[in-house]
Structure 1
Amino acid sequence: MIADGYIVGDGSWELKIFVTDLKVERTLRVKGDLHIGGVMLKLVEDLDVALDWSDHALWWPKKNMWLSRTRTTLDQYGVQADSMLHFTPMHKTLRIQLPDLRFMDAKVDFSVQCFSAVVQLCKDLGIRHPEELSFCRPLCPEHLKKNYKYAGVSPRQRAKDAMGPIVQNNPYASNISTPDGKSSPAVDLNTTPVSHLNGSAGSFSPISNGHSTSFDNSFYMGSDPSIPSLASSPQTPTLEAKNTLIRPKSLVERARLNCGWLDSSLSLYEQDVREFDLLLLRFKFYSFYDLNPKLDSARINQIYEQARWSLLTEEIECTEEEMMMFASLNLQVNLQSNSPVPERTNTTSNDDIDSALTELQVQLEGSSMMNTSGGNITNIPELADYLRFMKPRKFTLKSYKRYFFVFKDTRLAIYKSKDERLGPPAIAINLKGCEVTPDVNLSQRRYGIKLEVPAQEGMVEYLIRCDAEEQYAKWMAAFHMASKGKTMADASFDSEVKQILDLLSMQHPAPAPAISPNQININPEDYIAPRFLRKLKSRGQIIQRILEAHANVKDLNSVEAKLNFIKAWQALPEYGISLFVVKFDGSKKEELLGVASNRLMRMDPNTGDHIKTWRYSTMKAWNVNWEIKKMLVQFEEEDVQFSCLSADCKVVHEFIGGYIFLSMRSKDSNQTLNEELFHKLTGGWV
């Protein structure tokens, strides 16, 4: 007897394949040595339907894997007669929320690694440097109450007939259990029914306030001025968007925000993402490279929006004066949103812009584009002045005392008086590799600097107070550069001082507003974080203060206001630190791990104090022990091992490897993205 060209009894067997587009099941007679490409060809011939099947591939639900290698045989994949495969499109509609909280539907490749899917999406959207972004699951307030390894998927978010069963052994499936046996909470997003979403091939629904239409990709490139682009955003998000916002109330809750990140090395399907699911597109790594207003209007706007919402949801804290400064810049962006950026024809103006961009880049990426050693400069500048000083100790009340400070190269010497300078200092500190944190409150005339210096017993803390803004700006800039191994001979020192003074000047309220409150409608909730709204109470007083602060920035165009907002955001003490709840080996209590662009920090979960800091420059290796789910980071001085409680340890590994990858970018190679190197650094294997 012959079936499908095979003689029954010759080792051939029946393979069941479900065709998702047609919702039909086919049974093919195959042999184990038939390659995957041959299976798909045989299936298409059997269907005999005149459709373009070029975007289709085979998915194996039980094993949670794509059979993407077309030359590999069924035997090599381990497919047997009891297997059920799905023949389904690789590109599917994904609902995405952008950093500015707007929603869009886009065709995304569900079969490639998540990193590659983000790269292609950013290319479609016109966002450069996609390596800075990633997908994460939407979270709900319940996720902040306990530690969850993964964020679950809401049943309300997914259609009943969504393709493929939930696989019980898939760690990313909806019904996730945490180590304490609790299920990960479902996200109640109250999202639009699938039938209302635009799912036609090759089309997108626009970013809008709840309307759905189709148009081609020229929307992303801004070729049609009548369609809103990613370079500008609505002042107030939709109610649906506001419902996705969650507001952490402690450092531990902020750490739990990171459980939603997807694994960059796995495909969306492998992580239980299905068609029409909602994912958030966010900047994951706070290391922004080569921001260029001519090329990055969309990228700058989306960074600005993510910064704005991180402040309004109190994911990152600031002082009252800083909040008013951010609100004033936000107001200026809104006022300028309908005004075109003036053309710069003057060569000098262009030079000023290029110079400003160079200064901005130094701060944004912490790069050493300029000479960091001082070059041929033989006389390294020094700072010498009287400052107030205190070394805090537990359970003792100490006040600031006046000392004479001398700073040269990267070393700080502290003397009881100027006359004792010729002798040995009372305290000598090398600031290379230290933590420098501003402690400024303009209304109290406090210009403080907190130094945390690495020592064998952990981080030693020193508190310094300056008397005036100019003095503070010089010392703060000098300390900050020293922490990165630079001296005041570096060409960027003067620009760093100027940036600090500019930020302080923007926080001083003007004598009178440039705009009358009667001329503009301001909703304080769109500009001010809730804790300041509760503190200030009077709506009229809040609006008056925003307008007074706005008078300082009224001459900025939209892009300049956004760049100033980003710079001020980056100057905040808590900026760029991604937190995780961890348990270090040898410790029984839960602590925080802070991951930044250049260092790891062991932190107190109650106060946020830095117990110890490890620089990437002294790191030799980092990997995951998958059997015990622990991360091991090897430094020159010690090995650090910990288990992550608030996310999968792979997420922590990706953050570290991702920052190492971003630090390797250069002007020479920034046009090509080395995906293979990214996965090598973030993969988690020794």
Structure 2
Amino acid sequence: MAAKEVEWDLAVEVLHMGARKVLRVRSDWSVGHVLNTLSSKLLETNISHYGLWWPEQRLWLRKHQQSLHGYGVMSDAKIQLLNLNHRFYVELPDKSVYKCVMNFSRPVFEVVMELCRRMSIRRPEELSLLKFREDCAVGGRKKKKKVEKGVGSEDGTYHPDVNYGYQPEGVQFHRQNDSADLFAKEYTKNLKDLAYINSNWLESNRSLYEQDVFDEDHLYLRFKYHAFLDLNPQLDDFRIRQLFEQAKWSVLCEEVDCTEEEAMTFAALQFQVTLAYSQNEQQKKENFAAIASDIDQQLMELKDSLGQTDTDMQAPAEETFGYMRLTKGGFTLRGPKRYWFMLQGVTLCEYKTSDDSNIIDKYNLKGAVSEADLDPAKNKYAITLQLESGDDIRVLCDNADEYVKWMASFKIAGRGEIITESKLEREKASVNAFIAMQVGKNDTNGATPGAANPELQPNLLVSQRFIKKYKSKVKDLSRKIVEAHASFLNLSLIDAQMQYIRNWMVLLDFGISYFVVHFTRPKREALLGIAFNRMVAIDINTFDQIKVWRYAGMEQWKINWKSKEMRVIHEEGDFGFTCLSCDLRIVHEFIGGNVFLYLRDDPYAPLDLKVFQQLTLDKPTAHSGWGEEQSAREFVH
């Protein structure tokens, strides 16, 4: 005969209504049954976006099929009905900020997978989330203020192209100024400090809410495990971009140690990434301007055929006027003479001065070809106009801004079009892009490529150590970067990023996550480094390596959750430790996660979430406090 199920009154706090409902429940009721009963009590037909939260146990009752008895809910339990979906902000390695709404009852691993899906980042198992406290922010920085809608970066500028043209849905951008002062504050100064930063990683198998992540909080998405499978430039543009940014900051902020020669190589590659990006943007602007011009021309032809005009459809731009120096015809011994010019429609009017009302000459620009004759390095900004009548005139502008204004206006007038604000802005963008290309050519073809380039700022390309070393010899630092850059002049944007990542991955300290631990035998405080293929014991004072344990020789590991002790059985000697810098669960997850990534070899195999959870999730299974033994032999061998 089946045992009689226990009945009791279950109190549920409905926080969004400020109410408290008492339900008569039975121990065999499922969570779904409780929610349905509560819905009828609240007279709400749909509470699918709400869930039951047990504050005392810090537990979501997520499984709707599981009974109250299965969760251990009894009559003294205090349950809350909470909204599952909340907004938070995720900062990526390139400092762009992603605003999103997620289910806060989902495990962090599922949240990361969803974020990566939205941003087209493959291999989500390589990444995870951090939440920094006020006293331990990213790289020693204080926690950022939340990004409000419509707010740009802290320097008052908005960067819609911060991701090189790719903007995931729902992205709100926010970016810090790159500066030497920021580099000085960005990260900590030694391995022990880095170990304490690792305490901020969220546990993958627990939900956001369980780990005190609340509405409007600011999180950081980073590559947690440094085993990158199948980096493919054709598929992973955004993934490579973020990985490059994380690598760049780890070098600039001295998370990894590198020689001076390596530092100059990294600086040169970073500079090439900047140049390649600028060139890509210039090409995009030129292509856009050309397409827009073609569309305008087709619209003009269509309006002409319909007998319509453009004046009612677009606001005309203000008249273009100003002083320029003029020469006519071919070779002449007379130098250019300064006149006042005004462009009225397609007619260029010439005056002696701005106060003179008598027109000296008129030039019909319809059908005219505008040829650039400029050398920005010598402040030479000239335009040759080949008129449809066969005559040529040459005008010289005082500066780049005047040149851009006149050249853009001449091009529109040459097509016989009315100069509107939108057309003028598009043409100006195209002319500016052309000038920038000329500046780039002058800088890269000279005797010292890049040396005169205003974009080459050494204090943004090397760490504080080298900035201080070359404080009084900035030119020497620039020269070293330029010399290193000569090897990478022809690299495309993605190739330069990939080369940077490859160089980063061969550094001696690459990919090691540090923790302060206390070893039980012999008893001593030390640093434990966890990498994708090994664990390393490091002297906490000298930072010298004491012992290395490779995963290939690891047989099993387990945790005593009462004493917070981890034991590792290894063919080169067993060892145990307690963690002083963070919760032992984080260390356990780092080991299990790295073992999981160490096992990957087939880039086409689907992600085995079950194995990942088996390696990273551990709970006490006996009164002794010891969790299940994780057999490394079962996975590694």
Global fold match (TM > 0.5): yes
Shift of 1:88: 2.2
| Rg larger for | 2
**Residue 305 (structure 1) shift:** 0.5
**TM-aligned CA distance change 1:331 to 1:141, over 3 Å:** farther
The residue that corresponds to 1:189 in the other structure is 143
Q: CA deviation at 1:556?
A: 0.5
Mapped partners of 1:206, 1:600: distance in 2: 44
Question: 1:458-494, CA deviations, whole angstroms, 9 ceiling, x for partnerless residues?
Answer: xxxxxxxxxxxxxxxxxxxxxxxxxxxxxxxxxxxxx
CA spacing shift, 1:211–1:127, aligned 2, 3 Å? farther
Structure 1 residue 281 corresponds to structure 2 residue 235 = no
Secondary structure of the corresponding residue to residue 517 of structure 2: strand
Q: Partner residue of 1:176?
A: none
Amino acid at match of 1:26: K
Name 1:609's counterpart in structure 2. 544
Alignment of 1:567-646 (within 5 A): 567-646=502-581
C-alpha displacement of 1:282: 0.8
Q: Please state how far the C-alpha of 1:244 moved relative to its aligned partner.
A: 12
Q: Contact 2:144/2:218 (CA < 8 Å) preserved in 1? A: no
Aligned to 1:545: 480
Q: Which amino acid aligns with 1:293?
A: P
1:124-175 Cα shifts (integer Å, max 9, x gaps):
1111001011112225666899xxxxxxxxxxxxxxxxxxxxxxxxxxxxxx
5 Å-filtered alignment, 1:328-343, equals 328-340=268-280
- Residue 514 of structure 2 is aligned to residue 520 of structure 1: no
Is 1:662 paired with 2:597?
yes
Partner of residue 38 from structure 1, selected from 33, 37, 54: 33
What's 1:15 paired with?
10
Give the distance between the partners of 2:31 and 2:538, measured in 1 at CA: 51
Hey, what's the Cα distance between the residues in 2 that align with 1:59 and 1:649?
25
Change over 3 Å in CA distance of 1:524–1:27 after alignment to 2? farther
In structure 2, relative to structure 1, the CA distance for the partners of 1:591 and 1:11 (3 Å cut) is: closer
**CA contact under 8 A between 1:592 and 1:603: conserved in structure 2?**
yes
Instruction: Specify the code of the residue in structure 2 equivalent to 1:42.
Output: T
- 1:552 partner SS: helix
Deviation at 1:234, TM superposition (A): 9.2
Instruction: Quote how far apart the aligned CAs of 1:265 are.
Output: 1.7
Q: Secondary structure at the match of 1:622?
A: strand
Deviations 1:501-551 (A, max 9, x none): xxxxxxxxx99532242x323443422111111111034443343333222
Q: Partner residue of 2:615?
A: 681
Task: From the superposition, tell whether residues 42 and 341 of structure 1 become closer, same or farther in structure 2 (CA, over 3 Å).
Answer: same
Post-superposition Cα deviations, 1:8-33, rounded to whole Å, max 9, x if no partner, equal: xx975443333344454434343444
CA contact (8 A) 1:230 1:298 kept: no
* Structure 2: distance between partners of 1:74 and 1:211: 53
Spell out the pairing of 1:425-444 with structure 2 (5 A cutoff).
none
Secondary structure at the counterpart of residue 88 of structure 1: strand
How far, CA to CA, are the matches of 1:115 and 1:547 in structure 2? 43
Q: Partners of 2:12 and 2:156 in 1: how far apart?
A: 37
Is the contact between residue 91 and residue 108 of structure 1 (CA under 8 Å) also seen in structure 2?
A: yes
1:623–1:631 contact (8 Å) kept in structure 2:
yes
Structure 1 runs (4+) deviating above 6 angstroms are 205-213, 228-231
- Worse-matched range after superposition: 241-250 or 257-266: 241-250
For 1:84 and 1:28, the matched residues in 2 are separated by 12
CA distance in 1, matches of 2:22, 2:169: 48
* CA apart distance, 1:675: 0.8
Task: Give deviations 1:209-244, integer Å, cap 9, x for gaps.
Answer: 79999x9xxx99x9x95858999x9996479x9599
AA in 1 matched with 2:591: I
From the superposition, tell whether residues 529 and 567 of structure 1 become closer, same or farther in structure 2 (CA, over 3 Å): same
Q: 2:117, 2:62 → 1: CA distance?
A: 23
Q: 1:228 to 1:339 in 2, by over 3 A?
A: farther
2 CA distance for matches of 1:269 and 1:228? 25
Residue 499 of structure 2 aligns to which amino acid in structure 1? N
Determine if contact 1:513/1:549 at 8 Å carries over to the other structure: no
Change (3 A) 1:574 1:11: closer
Q: Work out whether residues 115 and 265 of structure 1, in 8 Å CA contact, stay in contact via their aligned partners in 2.
A: yes
Q: How does 1:152-167 map to 2 (within 5 A)?
A: none
Q: Can you give the 5+ residue segments of structure 1 that lack an aligned partner in the other structure? A: 1-9, 146-184, 199-204, 344-509
In structure 2, the partner of 1:443 is none
- Structure 1 contact 59–86 (Cα < 8 Å) conserved: yes
Q: Are the counterparts in 1 of residues 123 and 229 from structure 2 also a CA contact under 8 Å?
A: yes
Identical amino acids, percent of aligned pairs:
36
Asked if the contact 1:582–1:644 (Cα under 8 Å) also holds between the matched residues in 2, the reply is yes
What is the CA–CA distance in structure 1 between the aligned matches of 2:232 and 2:587, rounded to whole Å? Answer: 30
What is the distance in 2 between the residues matched to 1:243 and 1:320? 17
For 2:274 and 2:136, the matched residues in 1 are separated by 33
Amino acid of the structure 2 residue aligned with 1:654: E
Residue range with higher mean Cα deviation, 296-305 or 571-580: 571-580
**Structure ranking higher in helix proportion:** 2
Change (3 A) 1:526 1:139: farther
180, 187, 197: which one aligns with 1:257: 197
Q: RMSD value over aligned CA atoms?
A: 3.8
Hey, what does 1:98 align to over in structure 2? 92
CA distance in structure 2 between the aligned counterparts of 1:531 and 1:589, rounded to whole angstroms: 32
Q: In 2, are the aligned partners of 1:104 and 1:206 still within 8 Å (CA)? A: no
Question: Which residue does the alignment assign to 2:73?
Answer: 79
Find the aligned partners of 2:254 and 2:607 in 1 and give their Cα distance. 34
CA contact under 8 A between 2:118 and 2:168: conserved in structure 1? no
TM-score, normalised to structure 1, is 0.59
Q: What amino acid sits opposite 1:609 in the alignment?
A: D
Aligned to 1:116, the other structure's residue is in SS state: helix
| Distance change (3 Å), C-alpha of 1:237 and 1:668 | same
Task: Please list the CA deviations of residues 418-475 of structure 1 after superposition, one character each: whole Å capped at 9, or x if unmatched.
Answer: xxxxxxxxxxxxxxxxxxxxxxxxxxxxxxxxxxxxxxxxxxxxxxxxxxxxxxxxxx
Match of 1:473 in 2: none
- Cα 1:529–1:86 change in 2 (3 A) is same
Q: Which of 45, 48, 54 in structure 1 is aligned with 2:48?
A: 54
User: Per the alignment, do residues 17 and 210 of structure 1 end up closer, same or farther by CA in structure 2, a change over 3 Å counting?
Assistant: farther
Task: Write the distance in 2 (CA, Å) between the matches of 1:563 and 1:230.
Answer: 27
Q: 1:234 to 1:86 in 2, by over 3 A?
A: closer
The equivalent residue for 1:127 is 121
Find the aligned partners of 1:250 and 1:212 in 2 and give their Cα distance: 34
Which runs of no fewer than 5 residues in structure 2 stay unpaired? 284-444, 619-627, 630-637
Structure 1 residue identity aligned to 2:577: F
Q: 1:498 maps to which residue?
A: none
1:304 aligns with 2:239: no
Output the CA distance in 1 between the equivalents of 2:114 and 2:613. Answer: 16
Counterpart amino acid of 2:571? E
2:21 maps to which residue? Answer: 26
